[in-house]
Structure 1
Amino acid sequence: MGGPAVKAAAETLGGACTEVTEGSESTEVSCRCVCKPTFYNSSGTCISCTDSCAVCKDGTLTGCQQCSPGKILSFSIVSSESADCVDQCSVSSECAECGITIDGSRYCTRCKDASTYPFNGVCILNTQRDAYCTSKANGVCTTCSSGAFLMNGGCYTTEHYPGSTICGKQSNGKCEKTKEGYGISPDGKLLECDPTCLACTAPGPGRCTRCPSGALLKRASGAATGSCVGLNACVDGYYADGDACLPCATPGCKTCGHASFCTECAGELFVSLDGRSCLGECTGNKVVGEVPGGVRRCWCERGFYSHGPRVARINPPPRSCVKTGTNQARSTSVTGSPSSPQSV
């Protein structure tokens, strides 16, 4: 859209004027007017959509793409160009169950006539829509074609509302990736996620599978779901790994660099020489030592050096202590002075 006529129409008929930058290198700013969702652009003029239509297609009076709460789209043909808003689902001669609510509107989940099934929440004959339903029984669809995805007994598409607000990517008759705030169970049931989740397998804060930017998925070892937490909440037995917050593998470990390398134990426990255990006491040729920050760990006694394999990148403490001057001590690369307790 463009020009004074469009701007005037937008301002008087409910349009919204937005500043945009024109050109990737230009700093010139111009005013571009766009019609509000309940209006559509017709030759530079914002025209009101039909009653109950929340979003309509530009240039088409009856091309409603989303209805107001309490209304749903009636798909008389495949294209949404002529879709109208009708009353939301109610148990009637066509629908036996209205088992799903999306954005304040009820949709059919089981049709009364066995020859029909819910398509985008409206009962239709299986001969329509190029047979999006490939397997049906008792008024519901059990399998959808590759052009749709199964949800609550019906087939929905990502091209049309309400499927477009639920699923971002469909494949092989299923929703491969849901949109923010939704999930679909393995048996095709719509799930409204906990507000902290981007996607989930069931309602509730512990069933998240994806989290918003800046949050971590805190889950138990081997679990596919968990809770979305901030970076500062990934503590006390957990560590951050990419976009996940995972538990330390060492029992009693409070802080770990990765799953099996403990850097601080809880309570009065000590970090073992190899960093893979939390001990009640240090035994053998080892003594208890304190390090900056008050972390309790096992050190080698005076006259002994820490000895054992080092692992690239994480350098965990070795597994044993050997006397200063032995062949083993000479062959082991360590840091520190032999006159002080040693720990790596």
Structure 2
Amino acid sequence: MATTRAERRIARVLSLEPGGPPTFQARVANLFIRAIGRTFWEFSPAGDAGLLRVQRATRLLGYAQRLPRGVAIEPQHLGACTAEWVRAGAPDEDKVFLYLHGGGYFFGGPRLYRPFNWRLSAATGRVVLALDYRLAPKHTPADALEDAVTAYEFLLGRGYSPENIVVGGDSAGGHLTLALLLALKQRELPLPKAAVCLSPWVDLLCSADSHRSNARTDYLIPAKKLAALGRDYCNGKAEDDPLHAPARADLTGLPPMLFVASGTEILRDDTREAYERAKAAGVNGVYQEWKGLVHVFPVFCEYVPEGKAAFRHIAEFLANAEA
């Protein structure tokens, strides 16, 4: 059967692999994201006033999101926080993806991430539970971790088998994903089947080399702003505090993990080193490094073709983890 031009274009997009040069659309998106997103954050006021300014702006952006037909959203209350169920198509109701959004622990949320989450549901054939964890400056990353544990225990209480649960997140949500796995391990709770970390902010103290070497080439994150934020979160905390854990903890026994990063972002080395440490601990891990793309490019899937292709890679990773 003959294919249409649109179908061939979609097939080309979905066939994209890490290692190749960025697409023209990705290069254009990089420029817009740098001019608008990074500049807005970089020149926002210091302290809580700046955090709240970015938080308000991204909340308004979330209300501009539109969903295609066939996507269902259902709110879920979880005590101190909330979440929303996202279903695209006809996912397997016995399988769930607990997703933890990024945003430096001070902005973002399920509404802003709806274009990402419905594609995640469609690609993986799973229901997505998108957690709306508590944010700074009113709350701390420790509060976010408790919310993540609450959400995971909620899924277990709802009857989901750990074998049918996947957890994942991007940037700060990637840090939260690793912190959640370590908290579950410490509390002797059953671990999920697999985990996905997209450009995880593994070390809140921003000590990896790429925080300096890629400070100019990161299209979204102002390195100095992120480092100051991390120091503030860790101020007064002991070296063995759970906030430090993902960068230093024993990763033995964790489930299969997919790590994805861009070679030009400041969190590249965080992602690489987390993968290498997981592999050294005996974890079945996969690392992908894409060239010349914006930080957490799958989240910008509306504009970055490689972002759409990333969902195929996530789905393939999960299929292999389940085999």
Q: Which has the higher strand share?
A: 1
Q: Shorter-chain TM-score: which interval?
A: under 0.3
What is the TM-score normalised by the length of structure 1?
0.21
Larger helix share, 1 or 2: 2
If you compute each CA radius of gyration, which structure gives the higher value, 1 or 2? 1
